[in-house]
Structure 1
């Protein structure tokens, strides 16, 4: 598991003072940085090997401004060329949001998915979500 703490900005709130539901997709993408480094350690956009095939978010409780949010990132599935990144947002000991992004290793030149290597699979497996 990878962990990161976010301090919500005032601009992350909605009119009711909650963290806006759209913010979590951005926070979760930022927290996937360690995953991206498995596939392109230098984060070179000219050689970017991943695409997002799907993103799903579930909201479990309200998240509020004024208190830090812990983001937890796991790998929940590893396929041939795709894998699932499962993430959670926690505030005050409560899981407020969870989500899954389906990522595909992709060759933009051939416009095809690329198999996950044994080394990449090993690195991903080190962060498997508990079952």
Structure 2
């Protein structure tokens, strides 16, 4: 079954020398940082502060498939897509490429859940986000 994916944001992130590991390529944990940066940029663009009060997005699951190794120097292009939102969550999908290169280096996904900061319980997605994700 094909999953609906709506492109919502693209980030350009420099590969830093410190992103490399002893094997001479970007360490696998760094890919999650690239995805995190893209997600934070998108949410900030939508008006949600990185240090929220009241309610906030949290990640309850995340996965990454590493297709090819990235190496320094370069710039990665992270594309973020979102699926159809539920009551309090939305699936997000990511593609990581080297800028100017159409090759897919990594792909991943994360489930974003909106939660009440005080109670730690899920809360409905903000209307502005739901509208942005369901509008054509």
| TM-based fold match above 0.5 | yes
Q: How does 1:24-35 map to 2 (within 5 A)?
A: 24-35=31-42
Instruction: Give 1:34 shift.
Output: 3.7
Shift of 1:11: 0.5
Question: Post-superposition shift, 1:16?
Answer: 2.4
TM-score (ref. length: structure 2): 0.81
Of 2-11 and 60-69, deviating more is: 60-69
Task: Structure 1 unaligned segments of length 5 or more: list them.
Answer: none
Measured in 1, the distance between the counterparts of 2:76 and 2:46 equals 27
Structure 2: 5+ residue runs without aligned partners? 1-6
Aligned CA RMSD, in angstroms, stands at: 2.1
Q: Is residue 77–residue 85 contact of structure 1 (8 Å, CA) maintained in 2?
A: no
Question: Structure 1 residue 33: deviation in Å?
Answer: 1.7
Number of matched residues?
127
Distance 1:113 1:39, change over 3 A: farther
1:29-78 CA deviation, whole Å, 9 max, x = no partner?
A: 01102442377534343345111110111111121212221111111231
Residue 3 of structure 2: aligned partner:
none
Contact 2:62–2:111 (Cα < 8 Å) also in 1: yes
Residue 109 of structure 1 aligns to a residue whose secondary structure is coil
Which residue among 107, 115, 123 is the counterpart of 2:116? Answer: 107
CA distance in 1 between partners of 2:122 and 2:45 (Å)? 17
